[in-house]
Amino acid sequence: MDNYPMMSASELAGAPWTQEEPPEKSFEVTCSQSLSKTVDVITNSYNHIVERESHNRIYEEYDDTSDVNWAEEYHSNDYHTPIQLIEILGKVLKDAQLQGRYYLSESYTKTLIKECEGWIENETEYIEN
């Protein structure tokens, strides 16, 4: 004889070992990520400022980048945003698939092509450090 109390029918029906797993169901989920990458951007779009004192002595010298369009400069240095890289990857994979060349297995290539679709760019910001 064990020391466990008897369970009523309703308690027994709710016991974990009598429960069935719910069927799989599709739910819409949004993956939102913020990414950043620091790179060197070469530009001549800045203003070199030299402030002089009396007798033409240099008081202060600095580079003013307040008018630089960092998005334009970033792209002119052949850098890409993550969304652009995803688009490029999708095109490369689709081209390879059309030619019957698979760098990875055929099913994984199809999965990656599908993964490259549907991404949108919510926000992009270019900041000088």
Task: Give the pLDDT of the chain (129 residues) as one tens digit per residue.
Answer: 566 677 676 777 777 777 788 899 999 988 888 888 899 999 999 999 999 888 888 889 999 999 999 999 999 999 999 999 999 999 999 999 999 988 888 899 999 999 999 888 888 888 888
In a domain, 99, yes or no: yes
CA distance linking residue 95 with residue 124, whole number of Å: 28
Same domain, 53 and 73: yes
Domain of 103 in residue numbering reads as 80-121
Same domain, 72 and 42: yes
Same domain, 70 and 91: no
Task: Read off the tokens for 94.
Answer: 């689709």
Query: How many domains, in total, are found in the chain?
Result: 2
What is the model's pTM?
A: 0.65
